Amino acid sequence: MQILDENKRKKIIAAAGKLFGKNDYHSVCLSEIAAEAKVGKGTLYVYFKSKEDLFSCVRIEGYTDMYRYLSKNIDTLSGDPLDNLHKIISETVKYCYRNKSVFKLLRAGTGRKMNPKIKETRKKVLELTRSVIESGVEKGILCDSKPAYTANYLLDVVRSGLTYSEGNLPQEELIEHIFSFFSRALQK
């Protein structure tokens, strides 16, 4: 009895992510994805229900991966809140730099309605940021009336900065600009 090959699934997700990140949903066709992943088109349907499903899985994978990465590198509770803030910004930016084609998918509402599973994984990423801010507020270092909103801003500001600079601005400079922006905005 043959078993689905997790590796092949990964390959397909990666290929799809690369293409969906560069062009928009309807401009990317499945045969293209299949070619990029070096599998037959029919195989896509062994691993995914539909194009829409594949797209969702790409986004979910993206958020999950990002969450894994961030939570590995960030300890919300301990440490100086400002250090934590710096860390979350720098790790977020770094992640986006390393995944240039995928990070464009990480934005909020795209016209396309988000399925609940995507919303959920996206939320986990946002809540990491929120908890960093909130713990800073509790410690009396930071100040923010709506940390949940601010967390959203952060993700979109990173996206904005990276898109605007088209990746030309050195990573470090973008990190410092965003950090100085947020730390001033949030410091008590």
Partner DNA sequence: ATTACAATACCGGTCAGTCGGTATTGAATG
Partner DNA sequence: CATTCAATACCGACTGACCGGTATTGTAAT
Told to check if 159 binds DNA by CB under 7 A, we report no
What's the rounded Cα separation, in Å, for the pair 41 and 31? 6
Nearest to 62 by CA among 124, 110, 148, 151: 124
Q: Which of 5, 25, 29, 138 binds a second copy (CB under 8 A)?
A: 25
Which helix or strand (DSSP H or E) is residue 49 part of? Answer: none
Tell me which residue has tokens 């609940």.
116
Site for a second copy in 43-82 (CB under 8 A): none
Nearest to 175 by CA among 150, 157, 187: 157
DSSP 13-27: HHHHHHHHHHS-GGG
Q: Which C-beta is closer to a second copy: that of 86 or that of 104?
A: 104
Told to check if 97 binds a second copy by CB under 8 A, we report no
Q: Which C-beta is closer to DNA: that of 27 or that of 163?
A: 27
Q: Which of 2, 4, 78, 184 binds a second copy (CB under 8 A)?
A: 184
Q: Which of 10, 24, 46, 79 binds DNA (CB under 7 A)?
A: 46
Site of interaction with DNA (CB under 7 A): 1-5, 8, 26-31, 34-35, 38-43, 45-47, 50-52
